[in-house]
Structure 1
Amino acid sequence: MLNDYIKPSILWTDVEDRIDATFYRTDFVVSLDKIFKNLTIPVLPNRQLIHELTDYTANGSFESLKKNVRYTNETGIPMIRGKNLKNGVLDKTDLNYVTDDTYRFLKKSELNAGDLLFTKTGTLGNTIVWSEYFGKATLGDNIFKVRYKNGINPYYIHAYFSTDYGYKWVERFAQGGVQPTIIKESFREIKIPVPDITIQDYIGNKVKRAENLREEARILNEECRNEFNKVLDLKIDLKKHAFLVEMDDYKTISSNPSIIYTTKNYEMKIAPQYYHPRRVFLLEQLKKINFNTKKLSELTNRISSKSSVNSLPYVGPDCIDNTFGYLTPVPANIKTNTVKTQKDDILFCRLRPNLNNITICDMENIQASAEFLQYRINKDFKYLYYLFFVLRHPFTLYQIVDTAIGDRPRVDEELVDDILIPIIPDETMANINKNIKKVLFNLRLSNQLTLEAKRDVESLIEGNFDESKIIEVE
């Protein structure tokens, strides 16, 4: 029986025989127990659905792990950590790698298609389903690997954990404050609505199709990268600290020179950041390619459209996918001026370390952080998506990455205007333009399907799921 005291912090109920007060927090009792008690579909504890639950530490004692786990470079086998699970997808931008011997030692955390990964410490409840696309990998610390029984669709479970209901169950069983965690025994007790397998598959297949679209986008993006690199044929590794700067009046091999002094005319800029060695080096290499280059300012107009309207969806640096530059606006809650965008505007974040956070506005009526420079393509240049692709390429970023200055390092807007864009053969630009446009289309559709799956689970719990939709699909 719910306590009728006005806004109590906890409630006495007969839901579970537990002594921890957090479990009986008012919002948990009202939004979980009261609703789940009245569901017409079975609600089962996770332990009844799980075939196998394991993690990194199941491979041995801390001493044994310390002795046998060896890290290596990108030629090794990926180790998936909690930070690689973001917004329901696998983020490969900051992977660790282990040796073959380590992979064999960590046999209990070997990843296979269909395994659900669940972050158990820190940012709780981020999930992905491991796909055959992802290849060979092993599990890092702070993640559960869950293999569900036959008759349970892991993509449906993934969609469930993306809902507020799923997250509240996770939060309810969490322990700790600053670094919350959920232990195996608590994870097994999370309540999960289990509809008929046809409904699970209907919802889960949306998530799986979204994953397939992202994989197609990844392949297309990689093909564009390879095509561009082959045409440009710049045989340099700008990630290395040691490089050669050689010009008519200056020559040095240095691992960390601060600036290059030269009589060459780089438009007679006074600020020292214009002459950072890596920038000078790259500009010298660009003079040797077989194609013309144009400044960003020759292909676009930089727009200044500050806005104080706070009702539009908002895009900050963290709203942009690092892999593809795909944007996901969030509800506005902004107290400062922003940039009001138009469809097809390019947003270029000039705040380090977010220089790679470049995106195209593929929707109307959004506002963006004032940390973005806003560019609108000229009518006489028809390859918007090629330009967006090149701006995200390391070749471009290394023209400016070392020039950010200040307490919160920013790149001077004139330096961004001066970025050189290769004007490669028209046929190649057209092909890259077409494929990158397809990449962003796939990602938008993938995001739509993921949201639909989430809403389907919520409708199922709230009693208004329309089963006729399943018949229509069949």
Structure 2
Amino acid sequence: MPQDPNDELASVLLERIKVEKERLIKEGKIKRSKKSGSSDTLHYENVPFEVPSSWMWTILEEITSTIGDGLHGTPQYNSEGDYFFINGNNLSNRKIVIKNETKRVSASEYEKYKKPLNRSSILVSINGTIGNIGIYDDEKIMLGKSACYINMISPINIQYMCIILESRYFLKYAIDSATGSTIKNVPLKAINNFKLPLPPLSEQQRIVAEIERWFALIDQIEQGKSDLQTIIKQTKSKILDLAIHGKLVPQDLNDEPAIELSKRINPDFTPCDNGHYAKLVQFEVPKSWMWTTINKISTSILYGVSESAKSKGRYKLLRITDIQDNYVCWQSVPFIDYDENKVKQYLLQNGDIVFARTGATVGKSYLIENLSEQVIYASYLIRVRTYSLILPQYVKYFFKSGYYWNQIEQNSFGVGQPNVNATILGNLNIPIPPIEEQKRIVKAIEQLLKQINKIMENL
């Protein structure tokens, strides 16, 4: 920021602070420090960095009336007391945070150990967690030893001091000054001797205003980012919704209708009577599409094996917990040994879709692709294997649509922990387009999601 030559110099400000401090000492409101209370020692030697000529280097002790810490010990708690016993972990974002577990003390206990806090007091965590900041605002609190209080002398701008105490410069100093092997503690002597740059008072005010302006802008950007993420999530949902309604890609009159596809899948296929088909129809789809159920497009819907995982074995064992954010780290998937005569039906193939049937992730699914090992799947998963004339990628995206999730919510059972069994999964309704349109839909979805994910990466 540009300096204003009309500003009162920081050296004049320091003199005013010195006069005010002497007045407080004479009136008995504060005690003189063990050092000379009117030291003329300059703090220009070995300064950490250069500052404008109108600024001054000083130490915290010279611009404060008192620096101390809280009670070294445990007070007598009283669950109905009026005062909260706080420590460094109660300080956050310049506020004093009262937590559910924060203990209380009585007024009489507070009177025994109270500290001279006022509206110019800054609290800093100095034990264990180092560097948390809170500004005292007449809260009914009693300090513990892990919080120190720094009472500023007017007219120092308290918000400017918070900026200094929140800086990496102070945090590094505090950590470097800390003692103790297990729990670090910053001595009060180090706090007193902390060397800081002091600008003119008007400059302090401009610095505070400028930083607050930037923080407000950052908050706006973060809110905008959050809003954009919400819009992107809604856009993904809309893309899938358009896809299963037949509105994402144009229809091609040359495509073989889905009903002919069903006949090729099952030569004995006969169209449903109007009454039964009407029950399947949840919304209008193009004439070349058809409504059916998951079991009608699947060669099998099968539960996994109830066996414990091992660190070694012949087969990998895929579990619900191995699927995170639509990704499987196959290196971390455990192993299993299984009966060679029974294992074939449980071996996963590319194009299989596994489905979580219980717990917090019920309904989530994962498409098996690019398998390089022999893998079977655990009992909390259901495998759906579609006919070769049904594109598994299309079913994968259907399993992410809002319509699919509505069916899961309506049909899951169990108190506390929702469940969906193979029968329920098999009876879910699904709109099926012609195979060529399935391919066009999948291609369009993947192109759109790729663009959206690129936007997300750049946020």
Q: Do Structure 1 and Structure 2 share a fold, with TM-score over 0.5?
A: no
Bigger Rg, structure 1 or 2: 2
TM-score, length of structure 2 as denominator length: 0.35
TM-score, length of structure 1 as denominator length: 0.34
